Structure formats: C-alpha cells, structure tokens
Structure 1
Amino acid sequence: MSCLYLFYPCKTQRIPPHRCKGTYQLNIFKMQIPSCIRTLIKVEALILYGLLWICLMTVHFQLNFIPKHYLKQTQELAQEDFEQRRDNRDNDNHDNNATKKVGQVYTGPSSAEVMKWFIHGPKLVQLPLQSRKHPHLVSYDVQKEVCHRGAVHLLIYIQSVPQNTHYRDEIRNTWGGVHNFKEIYVERVFLVAETEDKRIMESLEKERKEHDDIIICHFKDTFKNLSLKAITLLDFVNNRCTQAKYILKVDDDIFVNVYSLVEKFVPLLMKKPKSIVCQCKYNHKLVLDRNSKWYIPPEVLSESDKGILPTFCSGYVVLFTSDLVPMLLDASYTVPLVPVDDVYVFGFLLKKVADVNFIDGSDSFTLNQELGMDEYQNKTKPIQHCVVSVSEKATHETLWENTIDKISPFGREIMNKNLLPYEY
C-alpha cells in the first residue's frame, strides 16, 4: 500500500494535532500501486542517476584530460614534422666542410673540440698603466657587470649612435645574444657617444641601466670622433676585459651569422697570434679633398709612402685576437690621431705591430643588401656570406630567423637550443 500526500491547510481539515507540524500538512489519499511498478520506478531512478553521473564524468574528462593530451600530442607531431623539414633543408644546403645526409652521422668537430679553439686561443698580456696621460683618450661610463661574469670567449663590440635604439634591441634579441651558444661565453657591449638632444640622452641612460651593455663616451657622437671610440674600446678591453679571447667589431647596421663566423674563421685565428679577419684594403690613395669625410691630413704619411695608405681593414666588421689590443693601445700613445677610424686603428696603429697575420674575409662579407637578402631568404641557395648589411626588408630579425632556418650541422652542434629567442 502506498500513499500520495497533498498539501492542505491544517485548520480546514480534520487531522489529528500530532500530524499537523506547520501552516500546511499532508492530506492522505490512499492509492493502490502494484509492487512491480514500484520496482520499475526504482530501477528507472537508478538508471537516470547513473546516466547523469556518466555525463558529468565525461564532461570533466573532456575539460581536464583530453585537451592536455591532445595538445601534447599535437606539439610532438609538429616538432617531429619541423625537424624533418629542417633536416631536409640541411641536406639541400650543406657545404663541403660539414655535411649531413640522410642516414649519415655528423662527423665535424664536436662542441668540446670547438671549445679548445677558445681555451687554447690567444691570451691578452695587459699593457701596464702608463705614467703619462693618453693624448686622445676621453673618460667614459660603463656598467660594472660588463665582462665581470666570468670567462669571455668572444667579445662583441658594436659601434652605435644614441638614436639607434631599434638596432640595439634587434641585435640583443638575435645574433648578438649572449646565450646563443651552448658553451661559448659571449659578452656584448655597445659604444655610444653623447648628443645634445637631452631626451635621447635620458632614454640612452635608461637603456644602459636596463641592459648593462652600453659604454657612454663623453664626447660628441660624430663620424670624425669614431677613432676616439676605437681608443675607448682598446682601453676598456686592456683594463676591464682582459679575459677576452677574440673580439668582433661591428657596426650596428651589420648582421653577423655568428655560427658561420666561428666555423670559418676561429680555427684560423687560434693557429697564430696577432691575427685579424676583415675585408682588407690594399694600396688605397690618400683622399685630399677636405670636404670628404674620408679626408686625412697628408702630413700623417711620410714621403716614402707616396700618398698610399697602409694596408687596413674596412671597419664595418673586423674579427681579431685579443693579444693585439695592448699593442694597438700602446701605439695610440704616439701615432697622430686620424679621424677615419678603420684607417687609424687597423691601418696606422696596426702598422706599428710586427708580424700581423691578415686573413682576408672578403668572400664571406658583403654590403650588397639585395645579395644578402636573397641569399638568406631563398631556401634553395646556400649561405655563403656570414656578414651582410641590413635593410628595411632584410632586418636583423628576419636574417636571424633565416639563419636558424638554414643552420648548418656545425651550427646545430654549437648552438644553445634552449635559450635562442626563436623556436626551431
């Protein structure tokens, strides 16, 4: 026997007081419900409860477990596909010195062997502090953190101007990053002089404090003062960065494929002290036009030179051993200052150093922007030039992306895969 209860007010019904517990009470209508129906209702209720529980668990699983598994699987497949495409490009763009074909193992120098190029490389013998004052050196400000974080295998010195903040940021985030190599320790410093624009100088000072990689020289930033910047760099390395092994001097509008540069030239530099890699200039005549920015006073040459400049390096990129630094700095005390910095430092000063080993890198350096852009962005062409000029189309960032995309097996061996700013 089952009962169906309906609500009615207690006061209007003849219900015993003990059954009335509030304003409303149940009135009973006795109804006959077979036991089989009651059992069926209970079974249906259990089935509905079970279905509801299954639905809730399914939604929970879909929200919490399936997305993570699917994302992980998608990332793994994407990584495998990318590595396969990269290996295929490497096979198409390999060079004679480091090849990696399908089914073959890379046989070039390991990262440990490459480190020996730096460990057993040149050693800087510091020039003692001179009792006399340098005739050209001007004071400068530098953050104490620069070159104070351990060994310096490669010091990248970028010549910049105060307003070129965008170039400096691009270099920091691309080829000039200090963590681009697996084991090679890189230090980076920008040399910038002063400008009369107070807003730019305030921005430059803020940038210097933020990145700890700017040397501010206390003279006006002009083309004729580039030689003063060069003397500043020589003094800085001799007194504050003596642990440097190799020094790369670059203008801020020049891109450097650092992996290719190390592969091509560091083995040559470490074999002989006082070595320098650059685009060598031979038998250049003295420019006598006073209105030209290349003008050099004729009295700096002797009669025996017959108006011909000494062999010098084109200054947009130069890689040299650090043992040359104290020798160049010592020569700068006596050699008259010449306003054209590449002729002054890598010509007149270098002429005072005996047994310099010149390595001509002309075949690997180019200022042809169209050539550089086409070489790096064309997937079917191998990279021949490790130094190219940047432009609006071929920026530091785009050229760096292309470098990673077309990196050689040697580059992959020495690169830091965890800290590069781009995914690959």
Structure 2
Amino acid sequence: MIPRHPLIFKVTTICATILLIGLLCYSRESTVIIRKEIVVTIPPYDFDDSYNDDGKPTTTTTDLPTSTTKRQMFIDGDALEYSIDQEKCADDRYLMIYIHSAPEHSERRRVIRNTWGSTQVLTKHKAKLIFIMGEVSDLNLQATLETESDLYKDIVQGNFTDTYRNLTYKAITGLRWVTENCPKAMYVLKTDDDIVVDIHRVVRLMRSYIENKWGKTNILGGYIWTHMNVDRNKSSKWYTSPDEFPEKYFLKYCSGSAYMMSYDVVKKFYLKSLEIPFFWVDDYYVTGMLAHGTNVTPTSLNDRYILENKANIPGLLKNDTKTRFVFVHSPNTSMSNLVWKNYLDRW
C-alpha cells in the first residue's frame, strides 16, 4: 500500500531509490570472454545388423543408435578487452613477469613491489612486472584499483568477473597481454601473488643453465604434478564433474604457483587457447592442455620450490646451503619479508 502521508511517502521513495541503486551496483556483471559456443556432433557407434531365420532384420530403425551433440565453449580473443591497461615492454626487456592477483589483494601487491618486484630489482635484471586481474562489482574497490594503477603502472584488468571459476580467463588475459606487448622478451615468468621469488637467482638460472641446456625456445619449466587425481568431492572448491572432465587423472602439468616459459611458448599457448575448448582449472588448462596441444613438454624444477603449507620455511632456507630454493609460497606478509631478507643475505 502506498503511504498517504507526504513525509512518509517522500522518505519511502528515497529509501526505495537508494535500495534500487544499491542492487544495481551489487548485481553489476562484467562481460564474459567466452563468446563462441560450438555444437559438436558425436557419431553413433558402429551397429551390426542381425537377422532371423527368415532373413529379416531382428531390429527396427528405432533400435538404431543415433548421433549425439555436445556444446563446447571456446575463448573468443576478439571479445577480450582491458578495463585497465599498461604500456608495452621496452625492447630491451629480458624477462617479463605477470602475476595472478585478486583485486582485493593490495597488501600482497605492496609486499611484492617492496621486495622482489621493486623497481630497483626489475631495472637491474631488465624485467617488467604486471598484475593480472578481473573486474569487480564493488565500485569503491574499482576506484581504488584505478588509483593504484595510476600510481604504480603495473595493473592489467581484463573484462571478466574476478572469481575462482574464472581463473582461466585470467590466465588467457596474461598470455595475450604478453604476446601482444612484450615480443622482445627472452623469458616469461608467471607467478601467483603469494609467491616470493629470488629473482636474482632465477635470472642467473636462466642465463647460466636454461639457455645452455634447454636453449631459448620451446621452454616450460616449473613444479610438475604427475598422475594428479581429478577432484570428485562435491564439497571441494576444486570439484570437477565428469561432464567437465571425464578422465580420472590429469595429464602432467605445472603448479600455477610459478612457472617459466620462453616467449615463443607464451605466444603458442595464447593462439592455441582459441582452438582448445575452455576448461576452468587454469593451471591444467595452460600447462597441461595447451602444452599438450602445442607439443611443449614441461621440465621439472621441483627442487627449486617450497610449496608445502606447513613447511618449516625458515629452517629449510637456513639449511639450503646450495641456495636452490628460489620459489617460496608465503602464508602472510611477515613470512614474505623474512624470506626476502634471507634471499638478500645470500646474494
């Protein structure tokens, strides 16, 4: 019933307007990169007719198996746009670094900018760094991101909603940005924003070991998972249904925490992503499916990582006399700073 008192009517109208605006802002959805849907026809199995004693078939046409169809989704590169973009790499860049980051992880980005991703460190190693993320519905957070981008010039935001199930969009956004904007880079490093990198030794590893042993092309190196089970636990955030992925095990692939690629691999992966059906598990999609589709074989660097959530990180680093650990998963800011101090002490 509409209020009859003018003051009550006015207040009700104002409240309703505010609520409507709030709902519109809250439900604002960004565009989705998946634009191409292809219907694939699966032919029936071979059918052998059988006959009775009269020479007549024992089955009718209604018994014959029929073709089935399946809808498959593909990334549409033409639909990908950048809500926030950055300048291209300079031609002298040796290393391009792109980091998967959630929009609300400003503290993690701050720590990286003050440690292994600082301007001083990047300049020393002729490296460029960007943070890849998606769009948000929170207008205040979006305004904060734009201010952060204006200040640091290192955020790239794609036109997809930043959610866990959209991580593959984030991965393709990074591959495309590097492909188009950093073609002179020799190597590319992808990490997550909770990884601390001994960037000095990573670059030395590239120059003194990878280039000499593996060459400068067709390179994919990281922490390799083999014979990994597909998660069928419906209460898990990694749950993958049989319809999404029918096999019980994944192919060999790299942990998304950090992996290294030569530039040509980045380009091949991006172009192949336009041809291979979309799969939401980004680590596997990129370093498993795209690698398999481009004949790129991942090489193990497992002994260079500390990834265990309950690992004694200070103890492992203290006993790392050969300074092999260069990628460390950090649970918080204080640990990130401790790991970075340890790296600096051994430079």
TM-score, length basis structure 2: 0.70
Indicate the SS of the match to 2:94.
strand
Q: Give the Cα–Cα distance (whole angstroms) in 2 for the partners of residues 393 and 183 of structure 1.
A: 24
Residue 226 of structure 1 deviates from its aligned partner by 0.7
Q: Structure 1 residues 262 and 353, CA, compared in 2 at 3 Å: closer, same or farther?
A: same
Which residue of 1 is the match for residue 224 of structure 2?
A: 280
Is the alpha carbon distance of 1:143 and 1:330 closer, same or farther for their aligned partners in structure 2, counting shifts above 3 Å? closer
CA contact (8 A) 2:305 2:327 kept: yes
**Residue number in structure 1 paired with 2:96:** 155
Partner residue, 1:141: 83
Write out per-residue CA displacement over residues 80-128 of structure 1, whole angstroms, 9 at most, x where no aligned residue: xxxxxxxxxxxxxxxxxxxxxxxxxxxxxxxxxxxxxxxxxxxxxxxxx
Does the 8 Å CA contact 1:285/1:309 hold for their aligned counterparts?
yes
Identify the residue that residue 395 of structure 1 maps to in structure 2.
Answer: 335
Aligned length: 269
Matched, 1:325 2:276: no
- C-alpha separation in 2, matches of 1:226 and 1:283: 22
Q: 1:164 aligns with which of 105, 114, 117?
A: 105
Give the direction of change, closer, same or farther, for the CA distance of 1:333–1:400 in structure 2 (3 Å limit): same
Q: 1:181 Cα deviation (Å)?
A: 6.2
Asked whether the 8 Å contact 1:366–1:387 carries over to 2, the reply is yes
Inter-CA distance 309–395: structure 2 relative to 1 (3 Å threshold): same
AA matched with 1:286? V
Q: Does 1:367 align with 2:307?
A: yes
Q: Secondary structure at the match of 2:284?
A: helix
Q: For 1:208-227, what aligned pairs fall within 5 Å after superposition? A: 208-227=149-168
Where do 1:38-117 residues align within 5 Å? Answer: none
Distance, in Å, in 2 between the alignment partners of 1:234 and 1:393 is 28
Residue ranges of structure 2 left out of the alignment (5+ in a row) = 1-73
Unaligned runs of 5+ in 1: 1-132, 408-424
Describe the shift of the 1:291–1:139 C-alpha distance in structure 2 as closer, same or farther (beyond 3 A).
farther
Q: Tell me if the contact between 2:220 and 2:260 (Cα under 8 Å) persists in the aligned partners.
A: yes
Larger radius of gyration: 1
Residues in 2 aligned to 1:232 and 1:182: alpha-carbon distance in whole angstroms? 24
- Alignment root-mean-square deviation, CA: 2.5
> How far apart are residue 193 of structure 1 and its match?
1.2
- Asked whether 1:386 is paired with 2:330, we answer no
> What's 2:249 paired with?
308
Q: Structure 1 pair 287/269, CA: closer, same or farther in 2 (3 Å)?
A: same
Residues 179 and 185 of structure 1 are in contact (CA less than 8 Å); yes or no, is this contact kept in structure 2?
no
Structure 2 distance, partners of 1:182, 1:140, is: 26
Q: Determine the C-alpha separation between the residues in 2 that align with 1:180 and 1:236.
A: 22
On the 8 A contact 2:253/2:298 being kept in 1, the answer is: no
CA contact (8 A) 1:146 1:213 kept: no
Distance 1:380 1:319 in 2: 22
CA distance in 2, matches of 1:393, 1:233: 25
The Cα shift of 1:290 comes to 4.1
- The alignment status of 1:243 with 2:184, answered yes or no, reads yes
Cα distance, 1:261 vs structure 2:
1.9
